[in-house]
Structure 1
Amino acid sequence: MATAYLRPDEDITGLPAQDAPATSFWKAGHPPTLIAAFLYFDLAFMVWVLLGPLAPEIAKTLGLTPAQKGLMVAVPTLAGALLRVVNGVLVDRIGPKRSGAINQVIVILGLFTAWSMGVGSFAGTLALGVVLGFAGASFAVALPLASRWYPPEHQGKAMGLAGMGNSGTVFAALFAPTLAKLFGWNAVLGLACIPLTIVLAVYLMLAKDAPSQPAPRRMMDYAALLKQTDAWWLMAFYAVTFGGFVGLAASLPIYFTDQFGLSTVVAGYCTAGCVFAGSLVRPMGGALADRIGGVKALTMVYAVAAVALVGVSQASGLPAALALFVVAMLALGTGNGSVFQLVPQRFQAEIGVMTGLVGMAGGIGGFYLASSLGLARQFTGSFAPGFLIFAGLAVAALACVAGVKARWRATWKTGARI
């Protein structure tokens, strides 16, 4: 029988962490819930970025400008960011399992309505983007659902595996353009309801809230978290790692079609390759952070991401750009897992709302990147300024990590590497 996470100073045996025998990862928590969290997150992420792969076709139909295309693919990211805070509160009130079911039903109904009624205007795409934000808010459900079952020494792996659900962006990039060519882009919205419904049924069967759910907090307690400097640092770090990942995932189909004249299907394949790289390494990033500490992992991540994004801004050919995007996504994906190795070390008791806050910051970072790339293309004729500014943000994050690491290592007493 699986045992839930107890306290930051205890492992799953209930003994102090330094005195308890080591327990393997797969025996430390509840694998069916971990699988359910991954599947739910995976399909939710698939539809969260759905407008990105469909953007070239939608833009042709509706006659959108580059700035409008950038805003269209950025709105789901911003809506998801804001709704993650709502989900963080909901998770603490009714538990992650029920919160996830509510979100999934809203997304399915929204997509079905959009398919049946049709989306015929730019304003309609923005409204759909808001509905898809509920899928992006799944982040604040899936991670606490998995995290609450695991002790500190396995948090990086648990959060990394659950968070690997961002690989759903690969499915969107692979299949949405082809289905749009065959049936029209509006039909893709209806087709997406099929796998979402299947996964919802599996989720309801497998997922189980951990027995040691923290007591619901008062609203003033949530506001109190924002008075803690560490909360803001973690939010800022995730705004760069996850913001870069999801911003690129939403924007690359537009970049590849506009910059190199690729067909939507080929652009989808290129995007899928880049996104797959970033998704694959998320659990590896968590495991790496468990081994060497999240601070050291983030230091490497920001340096590599900054160099790769500067290279992208100067790339003149598809092979070079593709290779640099893969490197950037590998770094950013590793960073996503690394940040969420740190979050439960500092805020285990508030993991629900902190996941929402940190996830919101990541979504805002993604909104900025996706929208800024569209604006840069429209007003300068090039995507390069957008990439260069985000590379600068990675350098700033690197400097901030260096500034806080000594204090964190001195004051966080968790028994895990920081």
Structure 2
Amino acid sequence: MRDGFAYAGGGADVDPKPVRAKSAFWSSGHTPTLIAAFLYFDLAFMVWVLLGPLAPDIAATLQLSAAEKGLMVATPTLAGAILRVVNGLLVDRIGPKRSGAISQMIVIGGLLSAWTLGVNSFGGTLVLGVILGFAGASFAIALPLASRWYPPEHQGKAMGLAGMGNSGTVFAALFAPTLAKMFGWNAVLGLACTPLSIVFVAYMLLAKDAPGAPAPKRLVAYFEPLKRADAWWFMAFYAVTFGGFVGLAASLTIYFTDRFGLSTITAGYCTAGCVFAGSLVRPMGGALADAIGGVKTLGAVFIVAAFALAGVSGAATVSSALALFVLAMLALGAGNGAVFQLVPQRFSSEIGVMTGLVGMAGGVGGFYLASSLGIAKQLTGSYQAGFLIFAGLALVAFAGLALVKTRWRNSWAAAEGVRI
């Protein structure tokens, strides 16, 4: 795909004539690359939030306060947010496949070092969190790796399927607490390197950069989208949808153990159920946005998420909290897919850097939610204020969407002939 068009062929004899006719999804792109992008994203997300399920055990060993626990699980999110911009630049300069290979080697090497040397202080957890941020920054690599192969009418599905790799957070929640109980939490860091190494080999065999990628630009040119208001709107919307998803994924094990006294293993199962719901619907959100428009999908997402998070703030039982978290994650997961159905329509020739910028904003939103929950708990003895404020941010996002939707439909969406 080049400049928003699909091109016939895909090899050296590419027909330069753009083709706008719709084609079947599976024959319109490169399935092995889509699989590689999903696997890379999936395992990267597994280790990105690894400190969340391990947090109760780590906190007990290192005697961490509630605020320190919140900052510990939020640090990988913030590091991932910043590194997404770096990866977005790298993707447009050396290609997504090589960028992904570099990032995976850094994460595997960092986890092996943490396992062999040990993590013995709060500062050590923060250093580990920064290394895990490279895994979170996989977002800015995996999505353009897949997206560049697909035409505009299939962007929602392609980005949704590749982005479904955020289901890796389920594996962290399911297995990390059990493995920590069996072998100790530090051993989990070393054990994670085995599946990461297997996926790295599969990635190198399956992934292929799409033909016709945009030529590298001067460094300053990568920040040109920030001169347009639409880039900031997309960043704000994703800070709520993805920020809510990853912030909850990193924090729920702590919440369930602190709020209801659940064991780390049971809390991990509860967290896994919530995260699975949000991961499952991401491609559905992209497909729904393809069908009815990303704006309509996002509008519903923000209302449902605000309602669910406000309800969680007053939940008195495990079952009611769990039901509301699942509802919130379903909405936020669909919203993640909807945002990235819209971004390629508006910034088709700048998808690499826009993926990095929008992904960075999502990471910042996740850092805010995870850290604010810890601060709220320490200052007030309850998580209620943290949930209520984020519910308010979802309503602010809904108001912002209502403000820009008419201009979007009458300007760039009409020019491209796409449904938003």
| TM-score normalized with structure 1 length | 0.97
What is the distance in 1 between the residues matched to 2:245 and 2:40?
19
Per-residue deviation, 1:15: 5.9
Please give the per-residue CA displacement for 1:29-54, whole angstroms capped at 9, x wherever unaligned. Answer: 00000000000000000000000000
Letter in 1 for 2:3: R
Provide, for residues 326-357 of structure 1, a one-character-per-residue CA deviation record: whole Å limited to 9, x for no partner.
00000000000000000100111111000000
1:7 aligns with 2:3: yes
Alpha-carbon distance in structure 2 between the residues aligned to 1:191 and 1:131: 16
State the shift of 1:220 in Å.
1.6
- The aligned residue for residue 152 of structure 1 is 152
Q: Quick check: 1:258 aligned with 2:269?
A: no
CA distance in 2, matches of 1:401, 1:11: 33
In the TM superposition, what whole-angstrom CA distance separates every residue of 1:241-296 from its partner, at most 9, and x where no partner exists?
Answer: 00000000000000000000000000000000000000000000000000011101
Distance 1:228 1:201 in 2: 40
* TM-superposition CA deviations, 1:339-386 (whole Å, max 9, x none): 000010011111100000000000000000000000000000000000
**Are residue 105 (structure 1) and residue 93 (structure 2) matched?**
no
Aligned partner letter, 1:359: G
The structural deviation recorded for 1:411 is: 1.1
For residues 387 and 313 of structure 2, the distance between their equivalents in structure 1, rounded to whole angstroms, comes to 6
- Distance, in Å, in 2 between the alignment partners of 1:160 and 1:12 is 23
- Cα distance in 2 between the residues matched to 1:293 and 1:9: 20
Matches within 5 A, 1:9-408: 20=21, 22-408=22-408
Q: Distance in 2 between matches of 1:15 and 1:263?
A: 60
Q: How far 1:17 sits from its partner (Å)?
A: 5.8
Residue 223 of structure 1, CA deviation: 2.3
CA contact (8 A) 1:8 1:414 kept: no
State how far apart, in whole Å, the 2-side matches of 1:293 and 1:286 are: 9
Whether the 8 Å CA contact 1:152–1:414 is kept in 2: the answer is: no
1:152 and 1:415 in contact (8 A); partners too = no
Query: Following TM superposition, by how much is the alpha carbon of 1:8 offset from its aligned partner in structure 2, in angstroms?
Result: 2.3
Check 1:42–1:256 CA distance in 2 against 1; reply closer, same or farther (3 A cut). same
SS of corresponding position for 2:64: coil
Do 2:115 and 2:190's aligned partners in 1 also have CA atoms closer than 8 Å?
yes
- Report the Cα distance in structure 2 between the residues aligned to 1:214 and 1:17, rounded to whole angstroms: 18
- How far, CA to CA, are the matches of 2:245 and 2:113 in structure 1? 29
Equivalent in the alignment of 1:414: 416
C-alpha change, 1:122 and 1:228, in structure 2 (3 Å) is: same
How far apart are residue 415 of structure 1 and its match?
2.9
Extract unaligned runs of 5+ from structure 1: none
SS of equivalent residue, structure 2 residue 149:
coil
Query: Which amino acid letter does the alignment assign opposite residue 231 of structure 2?
Result: A
Partners of 1:316 and 1:245 in 2: how far apart? 22
Q: Is the 8 A contact 2:37 2:203 kept in 1?
A: yes
Q: What's the offset of the Cα at 1:193?
A: 0.4
Q: Which runs of 4+ in 1 moved over 6 A?
A: none
Whether the 8 Å contact between 1:85 and 1:356 is mirrored in structure 2 is: yes
- 1: distance between equivalents of 2:324 and 2:5? 42
CA contact (8 A) 2:2 2:214 kept: no
Distance in 2 between the 1:230 and 1:164 partners? 25
Looking at structure 1, the residues matched to 409 and 32 of structure 2 have their Cα atoms a distance apart, in angstroms, of 34
Amino acid at match of 2:36: A
Letter in 1 for 2:417: G
Provide the secondary structure at the position in 1 that maps to 2:416: coil
Q: State the alpha-carbon separation in 1 of the partners of residues 306 and 385 from structure 2.
A: 13
**Deviations 1:47-66, CA, capped at 9 Å, x for gaps:** 00000000000000000000
Secondary structure of residue in 2 paired with 1:214? coil
Matched AA of 2:408: W
Counterpart of 2:12 in structure 1 is none
Identical residues among aligned pairs (%): 75
> What is the letter of the counterpart of residue 78 of structure 1?
L
Counterpart CA distance in 2 for 1:81 and 1:339 is 17
Q: 2:13 maps to what in 1?
A: none
> Which consecutive residues of structure 2, in runs of 5 or more, have no partner in the other structure?
10-15
Give the Cα separation in 2 of the matches to 1:118 and 1:9.
Answer: 50
Once residues 96 and 234 of structure 2 are traced to their aligned partners in structure 1, the CA distance between those partners, rounded to angstroms, is 22
Measure the CA separation in 1 of the matches of 2:96 and 2:6.
23
Q: Is the 8 A contact 1:12 1:28 kept in 2?
A: no
Per-residue CA deviations over 1:375-401 (Å, capped at 9, x if unaligned) read 000000000000000000000000011
- In 1: Cα distance, 2:284 partner to 2:351 partner: 21
Instruction: Confirm or deny: 8 A CA contact 2:153 2:290 kept in the other structure.
Output: yes
Q: What's the TM-score, normalizing by structure 2?
A: 0.97
